[in-house]
Amino acid sequence: MKVIIESPYAGFVKRNIAYARLCMKDSLKRGEYPLCSHILYTQDGILDDSIPEERALGIEAGLIWGKEAEKTVVYIDFGTSKGMQEGIDRALKESRPVVFRKILEH
């Protein structure tokens, strides 16, 4: 099953990248085929998340790819960011199921 991963990015970027990798691993272990666009598009030389226009471009690219997904998986161990909420809203608008998960022990 193709899924879109929603997890935080901005703010605690180093922590959030490490977390997104854990989310991807969790998704793969569940037999899913995840796309985590905010990790892909923010690599060096692609888009700079601190530039509003580039951030918006990356978010939109991820949301467009989301149309190909069968569900959106939202990892909420660190809460829900504005960008994550955009992904949730788009999934609901496009009638794509949204699943919430926690993977860290608290």
**DSSP single-letter state for residue 38:** H
Sorted by where each begins, the domain ranges of the chain are 2-101
Q: 36: closest CA among 57, 60, 5?
A: 5
pTM of the model: 0.89
Residue 67 has pLDDT above 80, yes or no: yes
**DSSP single-letter state for residue 60:** H
- What pLDDT shows up at residue 84? 93
The per-residue pLDDT for range 77-103, each reduced to its tens digit, is 999 999 899 899 999 999 999 999 999
The per-residue pLDDT for range 11-66, each reduced to its tens digit, is 899 999 999 999 999 999 999 999 999 899 988 999 998 899 998 898 889 888 88
Sequence-ordered list of residues with C-beta below 8 angstroms from that of 30, at least 6 positions apart, any chain: none
- What pLDDT shows up at residue 106? 66
Q: Looking at domain 2-101, does it have CATH number 3.40.50.2300?
A: no
Decide: 34 and 25 in contact? Cβ < 8 Å.
Answer: no
**For residues 52 and 103, what is the distance between their CA atoms, to the nearest angstrom?**
30
